[in-house]
Amino acid sequence: MAAVAKTKAALPRVGLVGLGIMGGTMAEALLQQGYEVCGSDIDLKALARLKRAGGLCLSSAAEVAGRSDVVIVSLSTSEALAQVTESIVSVPKAQWSHKPIVIETSTLPMEDKDACADALGKLGITTLDAPISGTAVRIKERAWTFFVSGKETAYRKVLPVLQVFTDKVSFVGPYGNGTKMKFAANHLVAIYNVAYAESVTLARKMGLNPQDVLDLFGNSPVLGTGVMRLRMPMMLERQYSPATMKVEVWQKDMQVIGDMAKSVDCPTPLFSTCAAVYTSAMALGLAMEDTASTAEVMSAMAGIAPAKGRVKKPFKP
């Protein structure tokens, strides 16, 4: 027992700010590995989940930062990040007995992440920009990828924490490169989702069993991808809950990527075409369902009847 206690004592204390699908999953994984974990969230259900898992629930980001050696931030909006930043910087610099390393994992506009890092930097707190490529359900497969950017010395310090979730923890250079790499990844995912929805619809219209498409192509070294293996089964079953990525949330990511492309004068014709399909999914009442539900948009366009139990809504291309 003494050896175990010593090992646990040597682990850094980790705080989670934002205990949604991703943050809550990370908190549970850390607790299972013996880490001392605290967290905060405005959602009482998320706090209850952390408490059941054995974590400590706190009322603010400032409290989490004050009790942690490493703070992982996982938020869905820029407004939430601004509020978290304000909470932490409300603590005077002189009151910080130690300064945690903050790992910002959210997919948000670069200027908002820069503002967070600059504000925390004035307190002497180092922030890493480290978005995650992967969904919560894929943590069991250790299939996440972290794109970590910022100070390499800080990256090396937090690497063991991030390796709790995956072996794919890549250092990609100066602060901000992580988010840019995530934009590049999600740009592809946006296109893949719609491509697979179109493929399933084509198979159905030709009279093929779309399951055969997945069976033949899913593990192909040329045609198969993780996105195909994750989302196409939902498209085949026409069941999109529980969502690995909600259409409503994905709309935010699409906007951020599109804005970045415009800011660097990069044409994205395929991505821009896909954006309309996700907007159509929203119009069909699929906002809270998985992005695989783009298959229902394609079905509506092709004149395929709605899945059983779904209310047919008029489709406007």
Complete domains list, the chain, with CATH? 2-174 (3.40.50.720), 179-302 (1.10.1040.10)
Give the pLDDT confidence of 224-241 residue by residue, as tens digits.
998 999 999 999 999 999
Per DSSP, 19 falls in state -
What's the pLDDT score for residue 317? Answer: 43
pLDDT of residue 299: 96
Instruction: Order the strands of the 145-148 sheet from edge to edge.
Output: 132-133, 145-148, 169-171
Token readout for 90 is 């409300």
Q: Which two tokens stand for residue 32?
A: 């299972």
- Output the pLDDT for position 141: 76
Predicted local distance difference test score (pLDDT) of residue 9: 60
Round to whole Å and give the CA distance between 48 and 62.
20
HEC readout, 218-274: CCCCCCCCHHHHHHHHHHHHCCCCCCCCEHHHHHHHHHHHHHHHHHCCCCCHHHHHH
pLDDT for residue 130: 97
Closest CA to 182 of 131, 247, 127, 109: 131
> Residues 170, 173, 174, 179: is their CA dihedral positive or negative?
negative
Of 78, 108, 79, 85, give the one whose Cα is nearest residue 17: 85
Burial of 52 (0-12, 13-18, 19+ CB in 10 A): exposed
pLDDT of residue 95: 87
User: Which residue from 231, 240, 237 is spatially nearest to 197, judged by alpha carbons?
Assistant: 231
Can you give the pTM of this predicted structure?
0.86
Strand pairing category for 56-57 and 37-40: parallel
Residue ranges in the chain whose pLDDT is less than 70: 1-9, 138, 309-317
pLDDT digits (tens, 9 = 90+) for 77-117: 999 999 999 999 999 888 888 899 999 999 899 999 999 99
